[in-house]
Amino acid sequence: MSDAWKRLAAEKAVEDVRPGMKLGIGTGSTAEHFVRALGARVREGLDVIGVPTSERTHQLATEEGIRLSTLDEMPELDLTVDGADEIDPQMRLIKGGGGALLREKIVAAASKAMIVIADDSKLVDVLGRFPLPIEVVPFGLGATTLAVRDCLSGLGLSGSLTVRGGDEHPFVTDGGHFILDAELGRIPDADALAEKLVAIPGVVEHGLFIGLAVKAYVAGADGVRTIVASR
């Protein structure tokens, strides 16, 4: 049922799209449902233009007939719609399971608002059950990994820290970077961790999305719930 719930959440988010909007379009299985639903509306005459957050999303949106642009041409967006790997009660997110976290965060930050679409398995009381992706440059990987370990330890966090895809054949992001996945279990102070990670040379970005999402459409057995960020 999870895929059907993702589709319901995505279709609900399309209702928020207005003619003339400049849209950030997310990446991942739930976001793909949004792209298809948006494409159907475009073919019915809805006039929007989108900025995709990954090469995969670019390809799918093109197939759906959605007009696309870039942040260079269109640096301010009205709305971004994207999925999430985890959502906590303060609408803080973990994203990056699909490896597009850097572009996703750049696009979300360029938007007036971000709406999250997900099934209810993504709701958590405390972030951390899903491994936290940390995007890093390949140069100096060993030193960066050590610095990340020290950062986690300094905040009382423990767990495995591995290169996605393995050391021999690491996963490479659209930006040409690697990803370290930190299996932490619980992140009691996500704000502190976010601040410390970006201060590490070699860390490009991390999958903690804080202060970006304003609303979530979360689907489950009882239909689609609307959750608004508490500030």
Active-site residue, from 64, 104, 135, 205: 104
Q: At residue 154, what is the residue type? A: G
SS (H, E, C) the chain: CHHHHHHHHHHHHHCCCCCCCEEEECCCHHHHHHHHHHHHHHHCCCCCEEEECCHHHHHHHHHCCCCECCCCCCCCECEEEECCCEECCCCCEECCCCCCHHHHHHHHHCECCEEEEEEHHHECCCCCCCCEEEEECCCCHHHHHHHHHHHHHHCCCCCCEEECCCCCCCCCCCCCCEEEEECCCCCCCHHHHHHHHCCCCCEEEECEECCCEEEEEEEECCEEEEEECCC
Non-local (6+) Cβ contacts of 73 within 8 A are none
* Cβ–Cβ < 8 Å for 183, 160: yes
32 is catalytic: no
* CA–CA gap between residue 161 and residue 133 (Å, rounded): 10
By annotation, the residues acting in catalysis are: 104
